Chain A
Amino acid sequence: MGKGWCLFFLFWPVAAVVSCAMAPFVGWSFPYDNAQAASNLGIRIDDLFYIILIVTAIVFVGTQAVLVYALWRGANNREERATNVHGNHKLELIWSIIPGAILLFLAIYQMNIWADFRIKKYYPEAAVKDPLAEVTARQFEWRFRYPAIGKKLQQKPQPDDLYSVNELHVPFGKPVMIQLRSDDVQHSFFLPALRIKQDALPGLQIPVWFEANKPGTYDLVCAELCGWGHYKMKAHVIVQSEDEYQAYLKNLTQKQFYDGLGKIAAKETGTESEAVE
């Protein structure tokens, strides 16, 4: 065994620790605002991630250190002969019980977060009662259907529903729920900034809730390789104050019921005649 292997196995734990330490400063970390999630549940999910990262880092660095030490000793010592040992009951127990305990701890520790995230019984009541919008994933775009102002989202489309594409507006500071659907193949509703990810399946309507905690424009991407144009399946989620959100809905209503002459005629012909110049 050459000493080269010692260096090789030493390199990886060092590289792992250095790259993790560097990550927040060079933008390799979680997206947005100093790696801080834009939803409260997202912050809890991040904490979970960090616990797992620290546990695995300690185990990884520890085992690599022992490996490097053993290799180093072996490479420097030509006299001492290795002895053949068959099994060590104590050792077997230790390396079964410790990882088992760690896994059990993680399994129990994360249950609350998982329940809050995915079990409908634990969804915030207000959000479940009054879903914000229906989100339909489609090759290769996101279509949104909101209920008319002051009304509730119905299972079937209503004449006064409001529609938009690739631009979902959401108020912050309160939990909201969307009904996720797919028109064709399997897609995935992924809000990296909010740490929300849920597959959309054809034929199913899946409720997803989230609570954005600060205003901003966030990416909504498809996290399922869904076809040739998958990379195009990008939208924006615009998180804004309740007032701004209501103003947006009002504007959407006016636009959608535009008859070529109505109130926003000036604006519309303005944009249309711009093409003249």
Chain B
Amino acid sequence: MRFGFRRLILLSLIPLISFTGCEQPQVKFVFSQKTNELIPEAAKPVKEALVRQFGNPFELTQFEGLPTDFGDVQGTVKSVESSGKDQPLIRFQATGLENAYDKLLGLPLEWTSGKGQGHISRIKEYDFETGTIAVEKSPEIDPQSGDTFLVECVRLQFGRDLYNRHCMHCHGMSGEGTGPTSRYLNPPPRDFRLGIYKYTSTKPTSKAQEADLARTVKEGIAGTYMPSFKLLTDDEVSAIVNYVIWLSIRGETEKKLVDELFLDYSETALAERTSEDGGETREEVLEELKEYMELDFPDTLEFATSSVAEAWEEANLEDAIVTPQTPRVADTPESRERGRKLYLSQKTKCASCHGPQGRGNGTATQDFWTNPATNEKYSERGLHDIWGNLLPPRNLHRGIYRGGRRPIDTYRRLYSGIKGTPMPAFGGSLTDEELWDMVNYVMSLPYDGNR
């Protein structure tokens, strides 16, 4: 037979070869630009602290006091498989992991009873069907049936896997908003690392509720590239939200640490301090930094993580939610007219951004604004959000409601403003009736052809 099989196989390989050239995103948590602008001696401890507290994408690490659910599961050894002397692994059957998800591979397993109590093993193999676990053999551990253990980080890891599948290609591995598809999107995907979310049900100074983020994942954001993930189960959505909050906390912690150091120990600050005007030597600066790192840095780190964690926890309390005191004022022409007057008034100044007719073309869009973070003027005219993007005020006639189209959603936008943007909160300055009048006016605009 002269089939020329070899040629056939080679031919069929060609499409395969041409597909494998795709670029893969790097699997690591990146550090913020500001961190990288610190002098190496200051950046190093910050980066080390972050790796210690949060790990890397392969090995997420736990520390006490975070409001996110790491999802430890308790397991019990059912039976240990006998293994040969030169076997590098110990295999055993376990119970209690039935509700954990199926990828426990690589997770830390802490022994809570038996000979190995207090020791930590890594899971080298895991079979979800049979409940068989294999860990590295070590002289300290000797599992017997009945021994108990904890598998750490299950929930967070589940969220990470889902996040990396559905969210990462826009929002990035570290939630920094620069995934591979991000450069094609306008508006750009959110950078989670400031811990600020625009569309929330909470008071102006509060963070987002878990329910707010879950709603965004499920409903998507109309008018942006954030699609709806309604087909994910509630459990999957909550795992993703859990992980996103964890990424936020990591980013916020990093920001707090860097903010402490940036004024004195960035490359530019060092250059200034060691210049003729500054009059210090590099050694003096480094000596001072060393002292700071020894005396104050641990407290700074402790305070950074705990304050961030606390803020997230507080957002989920019931009294963080904005709830109107009076029901929606009837949507009558009179109410809309009162709303329109408020809209045009000096009290609200809505028109200065959204324009006298709500077309998003107010005079403020022609001004050069000051960046609150740097105190410098932006190079372009118009409003900006705190992520540094140009932010045109919404055209209220388009009928696209990014934060939801229920009256309560518009009410909350007016009450709390839109976090991270120049849209102010009117919660204190307007009464409930006034807010509802404005809601009625704003929500009537898309259907009002003439104005």
* Residues of A participating in the B interface, judged by any CB pair closer than 8 Å: 2-4, 8, 138-141, 143, 157-159, 163, 165-167, 228-229, 232-236, 255-262, 269, 271-276
| Alpha-carbon gap, A143 to B317, bound state (A) | 32
User: Can you list 8 A-B contacts (CB < 8 A)?
Assistant: A141-B220, A141-B227, A159-B447, A166-B228, A256-B405, A259-B408, A260-B322, A260-B324
Contact flag A229-B227 (CB < 8 Å), given A159-B447, A259-B411: yes
| Alpha-carbon gap, A272 to B2, bound state (A) | 72
Pair B323/A271 contact, Cβ less than 8 Å = no
Contact flag A228-B211 (CB < 8 Å), given A157-B446, A259-B407: no
Contact flag A235-B230 (CB < 8 Å), given A272-B201, A275-B211: yes
Pair A274/B231 contact, Cβ less than 8 Å = no
**CB-defined contacts of B230 to chain A, threshold 8 Å:** 165-167, 235-236
| Alpha-carbon gap, A272 to B328, bound state (A) | 19
The minimal Cβ–Cβ distance linking A219 to chain B, given in whole angstroms, is: 9
B321 at the interface (CB under 8 A from A): yes
Pair A236/B227 contact, Cβ less than 8 Å = no
**CB-defined contacts of A276 to chain B, threshold 8 Å:** 316-318
| Alpha-carbon gap, A157 to B328, bound state (A) | 22
| Alpha-carbon gap, A261 to B432, bound state (A) | 13
Contact flag A235-B231 (CB < 8 Å), given A165-B220, A276-B318: yes
B166 at the interface (CB under 8 A from A): yes
The minimal Cβ–Cβ distance linking A269 to chain B, given in whole angstroms, is: 8
**CB-defined contacts of A143 to chain B, threshold 8 Å:** 222
Pair B408/A258 contact, Cβ less than 8 Å = yes
Residues facing A in B312-344 (CB within 8 A) are 316-318, 321-324, 326-328
| Alpha-carbon gap, A50 to B3, bound state (A) | 35
| Alpha-carbon gap, A236 to B407, bound state (A) | 26
B181 is contacted by which of A3, A229, A260 (Cβ under 8 Å)? A229
The minimal Cβ–Cβ distance linking A145 to chain B, given in whole angstroms, is: 10
**CB-defined contacts of B447 to chain A, threshold 8 Å:** 157-159
Pair B227/A232 contact, Cβ less than 8 Å = yes
B219 at the interface (CB under 8 A from A): yes
Pair B228/A261 contact, Cβ less than 8 Å = no
Do most interface residues of chain B lie in helix, strand or loop, or is the interface mixed? loop
**CB-defined contacts of B3 to chain A, threshold 8 Å:** 4, 8
Q: How many residues in B have their beta carbons less than 8 Å from beta carbons of A? A: 42
**CB-defined contacts of B368 to chain A, threshold 8 Å:** none
Closest to B320 in A: A276
Pair B227/A273 contact, Cβ less than 8 Å = no
Pair A259/B211 contact, Cβ less than 8 Å = no
Pair A257/B318 contact, Cβ less than 8 Å = no
| Alpha-carbon gap, A257 to B439, bound state (A) | 12
A139 is contacted by which of B2, B227, B231 (Cβ under 8 Å)? B227
What per-residue 1/0 map shows which CB atoms of B343-365 lie under 8 Å from chain A? 00000000000000000000000
Q: A4-B3, A259-B328, A260-B407 are in contact. List 6 more A-B contacts (CB 8 A).
A: A141-B228, A143-B222, A228-B169, A236-B230, A260-B411, A261-B328
B1 at the interface (CB under 8 A from A): yes
Residues facing A in B1-35 (CB within 8 A) are 1-3
Contact flag A273-B318 (CB < 8 Å), given A258-B407, A259-B407: yes
B399 at the interface (CB under 8 A from A): yes
| Alpha-carbon gap, A39 to B311, bound state (A) | 53
**CB-defined contacts of B446 to chain A, threshold 8 Å:** 157
Pair A234/B408 contact, Cβ less than 8 Å = no
| Alpha-carbon gap, A3 to B209, bound state (A) | 72
| Alpha-carbon gap, A272 to B169, bound state (A) | 29
Closest to B219 in A: A165
The minimal Cβ–Cβ distance linking A168 to chain B, given in whole angstroms, is: 11
| Alpha-carbon gap, A165 to B210, bound state (A) | 20
B133 at the interface (CB under 8 A from A): no
Contact flag A140-B227 (CB < 8 Å), given A159-B447, A261-B323, A261-B324: yes
The minimal Cβ–Cβ distance linking B373 to chain A, given in whole angstroms, is: 30
B101 at the interface (CB under 8 A from A): no
Closest to B325 in A: A261
What per-residue 1/0 map shows which CB atoms of B199-218 lie under 8 Å from chain A? 00100000001110000000
B444 at the interface (CB under 8 A from A): yes
Contact flag A4-B1 (CB < 8 Å), given A139-B227, A261-B324: yes
**CB-defined contacts of A234 to chain B, threshold 8 Å:** 231
| Alpha-carbon gap, A261 to B2, bound state (A) | 81
**CB-defined contacts of B228 to chain A, threshold 8 Å:** 141, 165-166
The minimal Cβ–Cβ distance linking A135 to chain B, given in whole angstroms, is: 14
Pair A271/B181 contact, Cβ less than 8 Å = no
A166 is contacted by which of B231, B317, B324 (Cβ under 8 Å)? B231
**CB-defined contacts of A256 to chain B, threshold 8 Å:** 405-406
Closest to A262 in B: B327
**CB-defined contacts of A141 to chain B, threshold 8 Å:** 220, 227-228
**CB-defined contacts of B407 to chain A, threshold 8 Å:** 257-260
The minimal Cβ–Cβ distance linking A187 to chain B, given in whole angstroms, is: 12
